[in-house]
Structure 1
């Protein structure tokens, strides 16, 4: 076989029963890595109480987010050169070690560093699964199984909070980290047994300088978006320094990539309309989704009045719609090989769901909220795998890791950007309305409530503390407490409605974006069989 032919890779490298073991390994990896964040979130109040480090609360998530996000594009590029297997193994080992060290942490500082270590491994598990599905199936087959992958993500989001609460109450918060270890061991065995070892015959020059410059640029940008509106004001010197400094370094990264022999992220990728449109569309959909995921639980707990102990199940209707949408979307694309009309329909459903969210008010029932969540979940769930498939189908197999990891990175970035933007909108609208809603008898409390995060007023501990203050004044004090809670609920509804208006804007932009997504018929198995035959003929 000639060297040129040997370097050609076809999509069906994994065949027979082995490909189903490989796919099962991908699903297992995706399930426990995506579940990790929700499990940890549920346990955080207990962890803070034990380790006494509330000032470092946000860093438990920030450290993980930064290291996982910046490694995603690096893993994607390297896996195209050296295959998925070594990076799966490296990521799983790093994630497992980080989980073990997190469980053994005795201070919040130790936990933050362990989570950063864990995030380095998580970056591999975020970027590898979708590319690995490309190793197993042709694009048209892939659509069906990509929908299954998205459904597994939805299931993990439902299971995570309940599992985290049960582990914390029944065992110890340390087991929310230790629980990852048996999953990681099983996944490592599956990777070793099922995934092929791929070596490129061509000489490759890894763009390590580009990777370093990208990392240096992303860290201040991610920190800037994370702290904006919370630790620092949006227009403050630290926020602007972080955002502008990071942006300047990323400009240098782009200039370097244009000259690099084998760039980490080739600028030519963005000339492809499917690739560039899908990234913008993914950003819009991500902003719509994260706005709902982050703040619907606040509305349900603060306005509808669902017991805080059941708050882990709040998003179940939305994720249920997400699962159904993913499965149906994948099946339709697999059978038809087309996605244009499905993209339009999915975008329209997202808009309808966002409009329904905007109709909610103080008197909305939990049943209505569930229906609205199912609708928006259906739209987002059907559009997300579609965008993945469109991009994978538009590029040769040798670029699978790069294009998938870039999509994944942009999706993560949407969440990072959405959190402070939506949080700032909620806090500002809430404070403004609360100032107007408080009766004259409670004007003395304005200074105490000014600048408070509305989420902090929804905890049972906070409300009990406020109630105790008012109970000192007897029956009149209790009446004043009820007036205050009513003003808080009215103000929270006002703030959430403003958020949903912004979410509707991004939903409309998502719908419009689907009309700019070009359609290329999904390649079926026969395409790859014919190309494999051509490669064999050229090699003989």
Structure 2
């Protein structure tokens, strides 16, 4: 597709951007409102599962579609991704309990994984590596723009309308995206001579499921040393060994192992894993600070995260153009990563909404400068023949990092909160409710649940129903909850800071090679004559 006219490429990119925006805006709408949705449906203990299942299904979809789209082309998969995402979004709005919401978010994640894998790879099909810097910045800006309007809009909707509209509002945009991709996106012929790696796909999927379930349930549903968790990790190890064996024998492996002989691909993927682990694992708890500790409504909570998105949009666009102009990219990763670390460190010690806003600005700046780099490094290091599977490997590691990070941070959050609540109760001597009216004592028990902090209208309504003589006790109990939650969030953000710091150190080891001005590799007559740049032997098993 590199030989298409510039005008045709632009129309295709518009179609891709619409599809990506449809997926991204739904995510940012839901993020701010999720604490309120959980408070309505119940099941705070399963809060992380709403995000984890989405990441799990999108991770599996991403890696499987990467190789399949190399064989069959990108168009059918982008269309299928939009359909799955729309079905999942519609069903989410019909959820009556947390378990239904988790199941339907899994369907949404499947669609999102397909869309993201196909869209980012399609950019590699359309443009040479040197030009991809600009378009990677544009695509980052799309995510940033959705993050600008999504949180505030999501907060406003959940404050003024039924929460189901968070999932339904942009469904018409999905229809528009589907129509544009159907009409504008060129159809590519199936690559002959390649077979689908069913066995490798199966064992890779089972490995991902077993490992992610183990991390998600460890420390929450079961103890880390429990037979269930050890069994899941053991099963994951067995499936991984079977996957490695299958890939050595597959004619067209779903994830070629020799791809990781390329040091650029390997280091970039490890950095992507750590970045998402620290970033996603910590940032999903920012609404807990703004809404729970500071008592801000979901509407205004969205405004707190908006500066991060604005700074990310601006700097990702600038950096993308600079990369295209100069052909240099490593310097931006080395600048952006420490700024992200600084932003996360501010979050760990923030004690006001204004400090949270400053943290968002700093973190967004670092995100905009550093994040576009790591997609380019992988795509520039492989041939067009492996563009899909290489891009999918990058997204696989990012999704794994995000999912494992969310699970580990969730365990850290739950454990820290539990310990802080015990310490607070011990230091205050607890609240003696034996002398109170039993009905009043039963109502007061609700103020010992941190989940109450996430639904401020319900909190105020319950306070008004209680007699004046217990109001000082209520104030003390709420303050205790806020202190326990705040200290727990500090622990989570510090863990995220440490993870990002490790990723920054690894950035120094990325080998920078010039961004090519064509998809054809140097010294070859066609795209497929050489498999990988920077690897002494050809990629393939």
For this structure pair, what is the TM-score category when the shorter chain's length is used for normalisation? 0.7 to 0.9
Corresponding residue number in structure 2 for 1:147:
137
Corresponding residue number in structure 2 for 1:6:
none
Tell me the secondary structure at the aligned position of residue 232 of structure 2.
helix
TM-score w.r.t. structure 1 length?
Answer: 0.85
Greater shift after overlay, 114-123 or 278-287? Answer: 114-123
Alignment of 1:72-91 (within 5 A): 72-91=62-81
Q: Distance in 1 between matches of 2:475 and 2:3?
A: 66
CA shift for structure 1 position 513 = 1.0
Q: Distance in 2 between matches of 1:531 and 1:22?
A: 30
The answer on whether the counterparts of 2:75 and 2:186 sit within 8 Å (CA) in structure 1 is yes
The yes-or-no answer on 1:421 pairing with 2:408 is: yes
The answer on whether the counterparts of 2:275 and 2:499 sit within 8 Å (CA) in structure 1 is yes
Equivalenced residue count is: 518
The yes-or-no answer on 1:520 pairing with 2:513 is: yes
Tell me the secondary structure at the aligned position of residue 284 of structure 2.
helix
Greater shift after overlay, 143-152 or 416-425? Answer: 416-425
Out of 490, 497, 517, the position equivalent to 1:504 is: 497
CA shift for structure 1 position 393 = 0.6
Tell me the secondary structure at the aligned position of residue 502 of structure 2.
helix
CA offsets 1:71-124 (integer angstroms, 9 cap, x no match): 111101011111111211222233334444555667776665544444332221
* Change in CA separation of 1:411 and 1:366 when aligned onto 2, cut-off 3 Å: same
The yes-or-no answer on 1:384 pairing with 2:362 is: no
Alignment of 1:473-484 (within 5 A): 474-475=468-469, 477-484=470-477
The yes-or-no answer on 1:370 pairing with 2:357 is: yes
Corresponding residue number in structure 1 for 2:539:
none
Tell me the secondary structure at the aligned position of residue 224 of structure 2.
coil
CA shift for structure 1 position 225 = 2.4
Alignment of 1:283-322 (within 5 A): 283-322=273-312
CA offsets 1:364-390 (integer angstroms, 9 cap, x no match): 332232122211221123222100011
Corresponding residue number in structure 1 for 2:441:
none
CA offsets 1:135-186 (integer angstroms, 9 cap, x no match): 2211111101101101111222332333334555666544434334322222
Greater shift after overlay, 349-358 or 35-44? Answer: 35-44
Q: Distance in 1 between matches of 2:183 and 2:286?
A: 42
Q: Distance in 1 between matches of 2:417 and 2:99?
A: 33
The yes-or-no answer on 1:29 pairing with 2:16 is: no
More helix by share: 1
* Change in CA separation of 1:436 and 1:212 when aligned onto 2, cut-off 3 Å: closer
* Change in CA separation of 1:325 and 1:59 when aligned onto 2, cut-off 3 Å: same
Corresponding residue number in structure 2 for 1:4:
none
Q: Distance in 2 between matches of 1:334 and 1:490?
A: 48
CA shift for structure 1 position 461 = 5.8
The answer on whether the counterparts of 1:293 and 1:315 sit within 8 Å (CA) in structure 2 is no
The answer on whether the counterparts of 1:330 and 1:385 sit within 8 Å (CA) in structure 2 is yes
* Change in CA separation of 1:46 and 1:435 when aligned onto 2, cut-off 3 Å: closer
* Change in CA separation of 1:97 and 1:137 when aligned onto 2, cut-off 3 Å: same
Greater shift after overlay, 261-270 or 44-53? Answer: 44-53
Q: Distance in 1 between matches of 2:144 and 2:138?
A: 10
TM-score w.r.t. structure 2 length?
Answer: 0.85
Q: Distance in 2 between matches of 1:170 and 1:284?
A: 38
CA shift for structure 1 position 325 = 3.0
Q: Distance in 2 between matches of 1:423 and 1:104?
A: 26
The answer on whether the counterparts of 1:15 and 1:136 sit within 8 Å (CA) in structure 2 is no
Tell me the secondary structure at the aligned position of residue 219 of structure 2.
coil
The answer on whether the counterparts of 1:19 and 1:194 sit within 8 Å (CA) in structure 2 is no
Q: Distance in 1 between matches of 2:496 and 2:431?
A: 33
The answer on whether the counterparts of 1:14 and 1:135 sit within 8 Å (CA) in structure 2 is no
Alignment of 1:76-155 (within 5 A): 76-103=66-93, 113-155=103-145
* Change in CA separation of 1:418 and 1:456 when aligned onto 2, cut-off 3 Å: farther
Alignment of 1:102-251 (within 5 A): 102-103=92-93, 113-167=103-157, 172-251=162-241
* Change in CA separation of 1:221 and 1:394 when aligned onto 2, cut-off 3 Å: same
Tell me the secondary structure at the aligned position of residue 209 of structure 2.
helix
How large is the RMSD of aligned CA atoms in angstroms?
3.4
Greater shift after overlay, 17-26 or 246-255? Answer: 246-255
Alignment of 1:462-481 (within 5 A): 463-464=459-460, 467=463, 471-472=466-467, 474-475=468-469, 477-481=470-474
* Change in CA separation of 1:449 and 1:210 when aligned onto 2, cut-off 3 Å: farther
* Change in CA separation of 1:147 and 1:453 when aligned onto 2, cut-off 3 Å: farther
* Change in CA separation of 1:171 and 1:264 when aligned onto 2, cut-off 3 Å: same
Corresponding residue number in structure 1 for 2:430:
442
The answer on whether the counterparts of 2:328 and 2:515 sit within 8 Å (CA) in structure 1 is yes
